[in-house]
Structure 1
Amino acid sequence: MPTLIPRTTLIPDVVRLLGEEFGDQHPVRVEDYFEDGTYVVRAELPGMDPQKQIHLTVDRGELRLRAEREFVKHDKAHTEFAYGAFGRTLRLPEGADPAHVTAAYEAGVLEVRIPVRVKTEPREIPVKVAT
């Protein structure tokens, strides 16, 4: 006969697991804002080598950030550090100029700056009647 898990134990574990997987505890914390005609994205990526472990792409109006931290085995069996590959995809604002994206990494924070062209208002174009 299979062993049954008491309901009082199962429900909190499921809620905790869903909170970790689908809650606001994403492994890459990101903030974004506009500053002087530039869309700025900042991501916390402490302890990473930006040239080897951080990858950025811009394609089809999206900024994709991917990072990978490799596990290094130590003598102790306990760790609270996160290892593995993780990423985020952000939709770029209208008018973003993907050809002029810049990125810098300092003190564990990646900052991506994307210029945004001034949005032009739609204008009516008069149609001439041919005579």
Structure 2
Amino acid sequence: MTALQERGKPTLESPWSRLDRLFDEWMRTMPMRRLLGEAPGEAVIRVDEYRDDDTQVIRAELPGIDPDRDVRLTVSGGMLRIDAERRVEERTEEKGYTRRELRYGSFSRTLPLAEGATEDDITAGYKDGVLEIRVPVASAEVRNEPRKIRVEHG
């Protein structure tokens, strides 16, 4: 009998569902995953995230893939999910010996979108092994000076 128990999947209505997804994503990056049979870094897509004016930019490292065939992007409930699959085949023949080395695997990453993100206008591009996702974010107007509010008599 195992000492670990799988937690129930959170529902979208749960106020803790987003926190659960973030925790699960964090756990995927932990070195202890090596004990479970996965090589470190093989199951998690590495990303850079930053803000470019009113746009959240996510750059994912995905070398050696065909973005048209091997990448799937989905967005739901304020979360962006990147699924990718890599297939690499090498064949070497010399002096009567043939060696074929196949490497393949599925990768995924789920990331929270910034507050005010516009899910319908997300764009993505792929160049030189990097997938760049641009998410428009509505900027909240920040006032530095107090504004006087008139009180009506009525």
User: What is the TM-score of this pair, normalised by structure 1?
Assistant: 0.68
Q: How does 1:65-84 map to 2 (within 5 A)?
A: 65-72=82-89, 74=91, 75-76=98-99, 83-84=104-105
- 1:25 positional shift: 7.0
- The structure whose RCO (Cα within 8 Å, separation 6+) is larger is 1
Structure 2 partner of 1:30: 47
Q: Distance in 2 between matches of 1:16 and 1:91?
A: 22
Once structures 1 and 2 are overlaid, which stretch shifts more, 62-71 or 14-23?
14-23
Which residue pairs with 2:139 in the alignment?
Answer: 118
The CA RMSD over aligned residues, in Å, is 3.5
Note closer, same or farther for the CA distance 1:115–1:69 as it changes in structure 2 (3 Å cut): same
Moved beyond 6 Å, runs of 4+ = 22-25
- CA–CA separation in structure 1 for the residues paired with 2:71 and 2:78: 20
1:71/1:84 contact within 8 Å kept: no
Q: Distance in 1 between matches of 2:124 and 2:33?
A: 35
* Structure richer in strand, relative to its length: 2
Whether the 8 Å contact between 2:65 and 2:87 is mirrored in structure 1 is no
1:87 aligns with 2:108: yes
TM-score normalized with structure 2 length: 0.59
Match of residue 105 from structure 1: 126
Amino acid of the structure 2 residue aligned with 1:76: R
Q: Alpha-carbon deviations, 1:42-85, whole Å to 9, x = none? A: 00101111100011011110000000113536443667x5x211
Runs (5+) with no aligned partner, structure 1 = 1-13, 122-127
Unaligned runs of 5+ in 2: 1-30, 92-97, 143-151
User: Are the structure 2 counterparts of residues 22 and 107 from structure 1 closer, same or farther at C-alpha, using a change threshold of 3 Å?
Assistant: closer
Paired residue total: 114
Change (3 A) 1:18 1:58: same
